Each structure stands twice: as structure tokens, then as C-alpha cells.
Structure 1
Amino acid sequence: MTEPPRSAADRTATSTARDRLRAVVAPTDRTETLPVSTAVSRPLAEPVVARRAVPAFDQAARDGFAVRAPDTADASAEAPVELAVATVSTDAADAVPAAAVEPGTAVPVEAGAQLPEGADAVAGPEAVHGVADPDTTDDALTVSRPVDPEVGVRRVGADVVADETVRPSGHRLRPSDPALCTAVGRTRVEVVQRPAVGIVPTGGAVTSGDPRPGESVETNGTTVAEFAERFGAKVTYRDPVEPAPHALRAAVERDLTKDLLVTVGGTGPGESDRIRDVVADLGEVEVDGVALEPGGTTALSVVRERPVLSIPGDPVAAFVATTQFVAPAVARLAGREPPAPVTVDADLATDVVSESGLTSVVPVAFEDDDESGAETERTARLVADEPLSTLARADGWVVVPTDRERVPAGETVSVERWEASV
């Protein structure tokens, strides 16, 4: 069995490993047609072109009275103009006005309604006197000030014209986009499919169900799955696989149809840690250990043109490897850039020691953190290294670069808040 590299000199620099990962991961180009209401967050594979104008008819932009602007040109408070109010249909289902605006007349309209024929303006409350509202049944109204042409009117295509490209190819649909697409007659859109990611936990003493004596509940794979889904993947999460070579080989081959395969566990030096050898036998190993702690036994391989990331089974190491490698890989497959980390400055409560040549990721928690989010001075203390609760008790982590072996207590550091960064 191949022993994983132990010293920093034998491992691939984290930045180099990311470059190699980027080289073997390409954005997904498969497409599918979806109802626009379910396509939010997907990048468009084709532009959205308007099938109809918005508005599709000349319409009133406000409640009031549709008028001919020239009829009001001489209106003033001292000499108001009187207009006859035409009778309109009272059927709420009738979207088309039943009356046209003849010279010397006005028609009550509501915002969004079709502008009656002959009208070129809508007189609002500021210009009309003697009328309580547009639903009046009075025979006449007085206009005390001129109403300019096109005031209170939205013409055909004022918002969108027919055949206009309202969203370009590559645009990632936002929550406000379905309304726009539906308005222009595009209820279905062509989008890029979500990349398929297979997650295969390994280990003989882990289970996805209730543990029996001597077993542990598998949690690392579910964490990877959560991150992959947040970054746009369609995840297939498998039950834990026994560490026997034949079982591991079958599990890897089963998911080589995916855009990315992530194996969890089995990367260490133990006798049951065999995933590295199985993957190496099937394909080419691009990265065999990274200069990262924890997470240094992470490996990158290519098997039958499919990228395979093998990350450690320790919870904290698996989490670090997921944020540093799995998340960027999924983001690239989904055609997006990973979000920039959200960081907060804090003073270290104790020294942090790191091995030269390694990038160390150190979980920390804030002392007396202000839950209101106000800007206050913070102190960060190291979190005791426990198999699982470390992640729950930590507020983020401090990254110690490769050229430092010690960060002294009292130094102001940048704490990356990982939950806020995804």
C-alpha cells in the first residue's frame, strides 16, 4: 500500500493543487428546459428573447381619468374646463374599455388598464376637482390645470419591446427574473444542468443509519453533500463502503458517470485506508497529498477522464478539504466563482504554532462575541481538537501561511467565518 507523504516537502502546495484541480474540472455544458419558476440560480444556456411587448397595449399608468390633453390646455383654477364623463363597462372581467374618449369627454381608468381609444393622457387627482374617485357615476368633472400629453400613460413596449433580449446567455437567473420572463411570454427557459457529484464515504465502522456497538454515524459525507448542493450540484450520496479493495473499486466505477466523484475517508496510513491505491490503480494520480493541515492527505486523481477527489475521514480535516477543494471544484463545474470569504478581525488569545512549509487552518471561537453583529473588538481563542464538536463550537478559522511557524498571542488576525462564506 502506498504511504501518504508525511513531510511538507513531499506534499503539493495548496495553490498548486488548486491549479491542477482547475485544469481537470471544466464547467458543465449539458442543458435542459425548465419552467422558469424552478430555474432560479441556474445559468441560461440560451438568451431569453421577448415574445411580446410589455406592456402589450397602451395602458394607464395611474388611477384617474383618460382624457385628450388638448382638451385641458386652457384649464386653470380660475377657469376650469368641464369634461363629460363617459359611461364604461362595470364588468370587472372586461379588460377593454367600453367607451372611447371623444373630444370634450373623459373616461375613468385604473392603473394598468388599457388606455381608451382617443386618449393621450390620464388626469390624476391633482388636476381634477369635484370628483371623489374614478368610479364616479357623475356626468361631468372639472379639470383645474392642464394635463400634458403622455402624462400617466405607458405606451406599448415602454418596458420591453417584442424580440428584445431581456436576459443574455450565461446570466444566472435571480429570484426576480421569473416574473420578467413570464411577462414577455417565456414560461420555460433553456438552462445549464446542475453538475452531478457523487459522494462515497468509506470505512468499516461507519453507518448512515442507527449505529450498532462499535459503529459511528457517517457525517463527513453529509457535510460534503451540503456544500456541493450550496454551490449548485446535484448530489448522489452513497451509503458507506467497506474498505475492501473490490468494494472500493466497484463504488468508484459506479460513479464515474458523475462530473465529480468525492471519496471520504481511507486516505491515511492505516491498513484499512486503501482508497488511494484503488484510485491509483484505475487512473492517474495528479496530487498525492497537499501542504495543508489538517487535510494534508487529500488526493486528486483522474479516472477515465473523470476527476476524483479523495479527502480525509477526520471531521475537521474533511471539512477543511471540502472548503478548500470540493467547493471550488463544484463551483467551477456549475460555472460560477466561489464567494469571497467573509472575515472578521480578532486578537489571538494564545499562541498558534504551525509547521514550516504547511498552510495551517486553525479553528477558533470568539470570546464575548456580540450576537447583534455590531462592530466590537473581538478576541479569538483556539478550540480544542475534538472529532466532531470542534466544528460546532468554532466561529471560524485562522489561516497560518506556509512561511510562519508561530503567530503570537495578542496579534490581530483575520478570522474566516466559514458559514457566512457559503
Structure 2
Amino acid sequence: MTQRLPPSLTPLETALAALLRGVDPVMPIELPLAEAAGCTAAGVPLLSAYPPCDIAAVDGWALRANDLVGASSYSPLPLTEPPAWVDAGDAMPAGCDCVLDAGAVEVSGALALVLAEGLPGQGVGRSGSDVAESAPVATAGYPVGAAALLLARVAGTEKLSVRRPRLRIVNVPGATTTMQMITDLARAAGLDVVAHEASTRDAVSIAEALDVSACDLLLTIGGSGVGRADVAVTALAQRGAEFAHGLALQPGRTAAVGRLGKVPVAALPGAPGPALAVWFALVLPLIDRLSARQPRRTVTLPLARKIASSVGIAEVALLAEEHKTWMPLAVGEWPLHAIARADAWLLIPASHEGFAASEPVGAYLMRE
């Protein structure tokens, strides 16, 4: 059965502008490294050099290269005293600048013979070779990833300054799978997520759950249509929210966006495809504003075949990378198998009729 739509559709650009209006980045907070993963870095600390001094990069004998000129198995070089043995990670002894393998030195009592030459820096990890002095642990405005966490741990940094917007999700009974998908995406995007399941599918129960006292963004999942059981929009109205219901976006036309007090709110459809499209087109830009995130990267490849689009409605296309081209998987309606296969998504403006085959397009990656 064809789903009924709201009587009028708000252009995507208008809805996005209304959602972003007056929204400022949240204040930075300091979090332990494990909690900072995925959050947007802010005011990143400068690290101390690592290693802090020259260290042995391998197990072996610490020596001075200039003292070993001419040493070989045919012409062993006797030493006046046995060399120091170092394990990988040990600080290099004073005056030593190379580490020879165990078999390159023969030690018998007080006698030591060197059987090979050495080069300055051989087997040595230089001070600051892994982390330069005053290097930033991460780049402000970008997510804290595994590499940044590695540098921070190596340098002994215990906390990072990040921006982590607080998201409250209210799920309308019947949309649990979609709610779980959005929750996973939000946590991966570095948000502090609190999910709440309305007790029953009625406007009163949902309205009671629309608490914005401790969140920077509110999402409802499900019940955004115009059917008799679609009461999320009614609940928003009961709470006095200002919003536009019905978007010129496909998929996602039955969504609603607006404000509940000063907090941005979006009512996402209960089906995974439309909810995901609204997440990409409207919620991600809002998260980026709240996080002071730098622009997301696009990957430009030629289209494997053309994409046709209807003028007047913005559409989101799912793409898969095939042989260094973008292969369109779905436009307008998204079956689950297309979502599972997709590598990227492409927003087609409402003023655009689509793209020709072989035309280069810049698409956003599904997983950064």
C-alpha cells in the first residue's frame, strides 16, 4: 500500500537551515582515552618526544661505530673490556651509537672479539623517532581514531579534550531495529547516547519521554507518518515543538525536523532505509555543527551507469565501488540488501535531474 504523505513537503535546504539555525558547538570536555574514541578532538595536547632518549631497537651489543672500523670474522677486533648488552627498549649507554647482533661479538671471560663493523644508528631508535617533540596527539576537528589513541598511550597521556554532543533517542514501539541501527551510528560518531523506549504507542507516552533537559539533540524513531498509529508528530506538537513535517527528500519524506525549546529535534521514520537517509542528509550535518567537526571527506569516481532523479525532491543514492567506479545500487527506495552492500552515499539536489554515466561524482563513505 502506498504510504500517505503530509500535505506539503519542506525543501531539504530549508529543513537543514532551520535545524542548524542558532546551533553552536558543545563545550569541550576531558575524557579518558577509551571514552574519547570516535569523539571529535578539541584543543588537543602536545606530546613529549618518544622515545625520550636513544634506545635499542633490537637485542644485542651496544657499541660505538667508529671504534669498529675494519672488524670482520677474518680480522676480529679485540676490545679492552666487554661491551654492554642491551635488550630492545633499553636506553643506549653513553657513547654508544649502534647495536650489533649477538653473533657479531664473541665473549670469552674478559676477552671480547668483534666480528663485524657497525654503522651509526644501526639497531638504534632515535629520540623522538616515533613521536616528535610537541607533536599534536590528534587534529582538532577530526574524530579521535585508533592511531591517535596509540600516540596518546605511548606518550603517557591519560585524557583527551573532545566534543561529545549528548543525544537522546526516543523509540516508538515497533521500530526497535531501526533504533538500534541509529544508536550504533551515533555512538560510532562520538555521541553520548541515551535511548528510551516509549511504554506504549500513543502520543501521551511518547510526549512524556521527550525530555530535552539533558541533551543537545533529540531524535524520535518511528511513528512519523500520517497513519492512525503514527503519533510521534502528535507528541511533538503536544510538547509545543516547532517543526516542519514532511520533507522533499527520498527516502525520508515522512520525517519531521524542528525545535523543542532550544534543542534541535528530528522525527525519523521507523523503516531503516528512510531513517538512514534522514540521518545522512540532516542529522550528520547537525552532529558536525555540534562537534565543530571539519568537513567530511568525499571520494570522487566516475559513475558506472547513469542515475536519473526527479526534479523537486532531493534524493539519496547508495553506491558500491566496482572497478574504480561508483555503481548505483538504489535511488529513492532502499532495500536492505542495498544498504548492506553500499560503500558510499550521494545526495542528489532537488534541482538536479541526475548524473550521466561516466560522470565523476563525489560521494560520502558509509564508514569513515
Q: Under a length normalisation based on structure 2, what TM-score does the superposition of the two structures give?
A: 0.74
* Equivalent residue letter for 1:296: R
How far residue 261 of structure 1 moved from its aligned partner, in angstroms, is 0.7
Whether 1:391 aligns to 2:336 is yes
Partner of 2:266: 309
Give 5+ residue unaligned stretches, structure 2.
none
Name which of 100, 103, 106 aligns with 1:124. Answer: 100
Q: Check if 1:299 corresponds to 2:250.
A: no
Of the candidates 29, 37, 52, which is equivalent to residue 40 of structure 1? 37
Amino acid at match of 1:20: A
Q: Deviations over 1:62-81 (max 9, x none)?
A: 44433345544576898764
Q: What is the Cα deviation at residue 305 of structure 1? A: 1.3
Q: Give aligned-pair identity as a percent.
A: 25
Determine the C-alpha separation between the residues in 1 that align with 2:357 and 2:201. 44
Secondary structure in 1 matching 2:215: coil
Kept after mapping to 2: 8 A contact 1:280/1:301: no
Rg comparison, structure with higher value: 1
Q: Is the 8 A contact 1:218 1:240 kept in 2?
A: no
Q: Are 1:198 and 2:168 matched, yes or no?
A: yes
Matched, 1:358 2:313: yes
| 1:167 partner SS | coil
Q: Within the alignment, does 1:224 sit opposite 2:170 as a pair?
A: no
Find 1:181's aligned residue among 152, 176, 179. Answer: 152
Deviation at 1:233, TM superposition (A): 1.9
One-letter amino acid matched to 2:93: P
Tell me the distance in 1 between the aligned counterparts of 2:260 and 2:46.
Answer: 41
Shift of 1:300: 1.8
CA-CA distance at 1:28 after TM superposition: 2.6
Q: Which runs of 5+ in 1 are unaligned?
A: 87-105, 126-130, 208-216, 367-372
> Which letter does structure 1 place at the counterpart of 2:79?
L
> Taking structure 1 as reference, are residues 411 and 32 closer, same or farther at Cα in structure 2, changes over 3 Å only?
closer
Report whether the alignment pairs 1:6 with 2:7. yes
- Whole-Å separation in 1 of the counterparts to 2:361 and 2:66: 67
Cα deviation digits, residues 209-259 of structure 1 (max 9, x gap): xxxxxxxx643322322322232223222224545443232121x344221
Count the aligned residue pairs. 359
User: How far apart, CA to CA, are the structure 2 residues paired with 1:141 and 1:346?
Assistant: 67
Kept in 1, the 8 Å contact 2:97–2:122? The answer is: yes
Matched with 1:141 is: 113
CA distance in 2, matches of 1:374, 1:142: 57
Tell whether the 8 Å contact from 2:38 to 2:145 is kept in structure 1 after alignment.
yes
Aligned position for 1:67: 63
Give the structure 2 partner of residue 99 of structure 1: none
Q: Is the 8 A contact 1:85 1:108 kept in 2?
A: no
How far apart are the structure 2 equivalents of 1:228 and 1:378?
26
- For residue 26 of structure 1, give the secondary structure of its aligned residue in structure 2: coil
TM-aligned CA distance change 1:110 to 1:331, over 3 Å: same
Work out the CA distance in 2 between the residues paired with 1:353 and 1:61. 59
Residues 360, 402 of structure 1: 8 Å contact kept: yes
Equivalent residues in 2 for 1:15-414 (5 A)? 15-34=13-32, 36-50=33-47, 54-69=50-65, 71-72=67-68, 81-86=77-82, 106-117=83-94, 119-122=95-98, 124=100, 132-134=103-105, 136-137=107-108, 139-142=111-114, 145=117, 152-153=123-124, 164-167=134-137, 170=140, 172-186=143-157, 188-192=158-162, 194-202=164-172, 206-207=173-174, 218-240=176-198, 242-252=200-210, 254-283=211-240, 285=242, 287-336=244-293, 337-338=295-296, 340=298, 345-347=303-305, 354=310, 356-361=311-316, 375=323, 390-392=335-337, 395=341, 401-403=349-351
| 1: CA distance, partners of 2:290 / 2:254 | 23
Aligned-partner Cα distance in 1 for 2:68–2:5: 88
Q: What TM-score comes out, normalization by structure 1 length?
A: 0.66
Alignment partners' CA distance in 2, 1:322 and 1:42: 18
Distance 1:112 1:57 in 2: 10
* 2:58/2:88 contact within 8 Å kept: yes
Letter in 1 for 2:146: P
Q: Deviations 1:270-316 (Å, cap 9, x if unpaired)? A: 44444334424544525443222332232222222111112234443
